[in-house]
Structure 1
């Protein structure tokens, strides 16, 4: 406010004077810039750069760096700002945040990535080209990684490959199906299991032929059926597994293996009795049973 008052007085004096204002005073230019920031606010690009600077500063407090990551995540919710990450060549810096030793910072960094690529073809392309898919899969593949980081990593990988065929191709080349299968086999975290199954259903709707074939080839169908037996008391997970299996059977020319069919026949009556029309309508239940 003191600078604003000084600027106002100086400019009032200059307006009354016949002398033109000095054009080469660096201090004057600095004050003008600060006043503009006060009146109009900093541009989003400036706020993004400043957030990156705070996050990168290991001498700053953890709280300040977390706040800066929160602010960055909110900024990149806007498509133009997410695209500016590539325009400002900031993806390498943001991806480097994924290796911070502080868990809370890794959680926030993955969240930023997931938000930036959500429903944004240009950001998905830049993210994939800069190695983002590989780095996120590495986090998912690390069984020592914090479960919240892995949960956010599922959000990020989903955003990176949904409705972006080159991203799905890279996901497969980087062993993505195997990594998610390992998660289904080793994790006992229900939110993570639900997210993995939901992702497969989403991908099936996007590229039915390819994804259905991979689900069968990689043993993912059998693992989901096993989870249905193990976690049948979790209605949400049961709902997602039934929907995914139904989508696969309905849209794929390749059925389940005989072992998978037998296991599903064994489990389904109990699930149907417990939840009734969970996930599937009556006609869908009838169709699912006809496949078996």
Structure 2
């Protein structure tokens, strides 16, 4: 009969076997939200968390571990550097992950995210630029191929995206133009799915032929084939809020940019993203 030893130190076991990713995520989050820890410690913890949630299974575990709420709360408290790293973690978790998109959208995060896009926010100039750039990254992760999220973007949110096309930081302008271009691009998968559905519209066994939908990160696209179609909503909003006019003006009469604000020519990268 095997005897179970009770005298083994848990720290030794962790050292030998290694902690699970879930445990590492919880430890990183505990440090990140601890206002008594140093700013550097909190940033390092968020960096570690970001590396962990690059794996899609770990990103999906944010909901299971109830981490979305404290992670989102970091955007409205703490130093600017912590906010910037928190929004970067959010953006990474959302990239090409409908399951994470749905989990985060439950917090109605768009007003908070878009509030950072105004250069006149209370943050310092340098940190404000850093946060705005990362917010566009997070918005890209949340809105791309996600019509339900895009439908929640209100007039104020669209107006702030319009402002971002004239941001003093050219990197923010580029990323905003690329995001809008991505949202305008018709989704080929959705088009193909719609055509396939039309072909089987009058077939009695059409539903059986589709097969079962298994729960996974991308099951939402199978449950909602039109979910990825964002072009019509985007075009309507861009017309309504004069975003098209602002984009054209940015290409024909660009605002100065650069460290000293001395560059007035059209930025080639912005031009490419704006007219693609």
Q: TM-score range, shorter-chain basis?
A: 0.7 to 0.9
CA distance in 2, matches of 1:133, 1:113: 12
Deviation at 1:74, TM superposition (A): 0.6
1:176 aligns to what?
157
CA distance in 1, matches of 2:73, 2:105: 14
1:116 aligns to what?
93
1:153 aligns to what?
135
- Kindly report structure 1 stretches of 4+ aligned residues shifted beyond 4 Å: 20-23
1:228 equivalenced with 2:251 (yes/no): yes
2:168 aligns to what?
188
Change (3 A) 1:149 1:118: same
Report if aligned partners of 1:127, 1:133 keep a CA contact under 8 Å in 2. Answer: no
Report if aligned partners of 1:134, 1:174 keep a CA contact under 8 Å in 2. Answer: no
Describe the superposition over 1:25-80 as per-residue Cα deviations: whole angstroms up to 9, x where unpaired. 5xx25x1x323211221100000010011112222222111110100011111111
Describe the superposition over 1:126-156 as per-residue Cα deviations: whole angstroms up to 9, x where unpaired. 1110222232122224622411001100000
Report if aligned partners of 1:51, 1:69 keep a CA contact under 8 Å in 2. Answer: yes
2:208 aligns to what?
none
Change (3 A) 1:237 1:142: closer
1:40 aligns to what?
17
Root-mean-square deviation (CA, aligned residues, Å) is: 1.9
1:288 aligns to what?
none
Aligned residues: 218
2:242 aligns to what?
219
1:205 aligns to what?
185
1:164 equivalenced with 2:197 (yes/no): no
1:86 equivalenced with 2:63 (yes/no): yes
CA distance in 2, matches of 1:233, 1:163: 29
Deviation at 1:215, TM superposition (A): 1.4
Task: Choose between structure 1 and 2: higher helix proportion.
Answer: 1
- TM-score, normalised to structure 2's length? 0.74
Structure with more relative contact order (C-alpha pairs < 8 Å, separation 6 or more)? 2
Q: What SS does the aligned partner of 1:175 have?
A: helix
Deviation at 1:189, TM superposition (A): 1.3
Report if aligned partners of 2:151, 2:233 keep a CA contact under 8 Å in 1. Answer: no
Which residues of structure 1 form unaligned runs of 5+?
Answer: 1-17, 244-292
Change (3 A) 1:142 1:101: farther
Change (3 A) 1:58 1:199: same
1:139 aligns to what?
116
- TM-score, normalised to structure 1's length? 0.70
Describe the superposition over 1:84-116 as per-residue Cα deviations: whole angstroms up to 9, x where unpaired. 110011111111111233111111000000001
Change (3 A) 1:46 1:222: same
Which residues of structure 2 form unaligned runs of 5+?
Answer: 187-229, 255-264
